[in-house]
Amino acid sequence: MIGRVLLPLAALLPLSADAARPFVTDDARLTTAGSCQLESWSRIYRDRVELWALPACNPAGNLELTAGAGVAKSDGEPGNADYVFQLKTLFRPLEADDWGWGLALGTVRHPAVNPGPNLHGNSYAYIPLSVSLADNRVVMHANLGWLRERRSDRTAMTWGAGAEITLGGRWLGIVETYGDNHDKPFWQFGVRYALVPDRVQLDATVGRRLSGEEPDRWFSFGLRLTPDRLF
């Protein structure tokens, strides 16, 4: 159960700054150099709930380090956890009315599947590409990547595409689709609100698997903290 619930999402988790929550598709940006950020959110399905927390730091300026965890709990079952570790760097940072790209490498571990030092999990890599239009009023993101699922000994090509659109004031609109070459893709849309501009953001989305069953539908609520330089 935990593998089906978390693996398709964890392999594409948005771990970077600025375009991050509530995107699954990553962007060509990093969290502030010399600082850290925290992204946390919940996904609420009809029969289960996922809770995630992903702190990330950028100590040197062009290397973002992320280490976090997610917990899934289904009705009548004990909760199970996944752990995410990722490195991300940029070869061309995104600027207004320009484009950028980079590379991310990571792993997801599943202690509930196989306790002990040899944990089942995923290894993955992807290229984030972002394009800024109309002085950042529209920013588009695309990912193309590779995923190795250790438990099933399966390799997949992963992809994602999304856009953030300025709606006015502190509001942004979010639309996105993502998936891999083996299964039906997911989609989601929603909004992000800057409670404190550049520091505290709230978001909410609704999504499901394309042509999926009703239990696939979710509602997501997130909080993102991005403090200024810390060290």
pTM of the model: 0.86
Question: What domains does the chain contain, in order, with CATH numbers?
Answer: 2-225 (2.40.160.40)
CA distances from 9 to 2, 43, 44, 154, 198 (A): 11, 11, 14, 16, 26
At 8 the pLDDT is 44
At 213 the pLDDT is 63
- Which H or E run contains 4? helix 2-10
What span, in angstroms and rounded, lies between the C-alpha atoms of 108 and 146? 13
At 102 the pLDDT is 97
At 154 the pLDDT is 86
Beta-carbon count within 10 A of 152 CB:
12
Beta-carbon count within 10 A of 46 CB:
11
At 120 the pLDDT is 66
- Listed as ranges, residues in the chain with pLDDT below 70 are 1-19, 112-120, 212-215
Give, as one character, the DSSP assignment of residue 214.
Answer: G
Q: Which residue has the tokens 């509602």?
A: 219
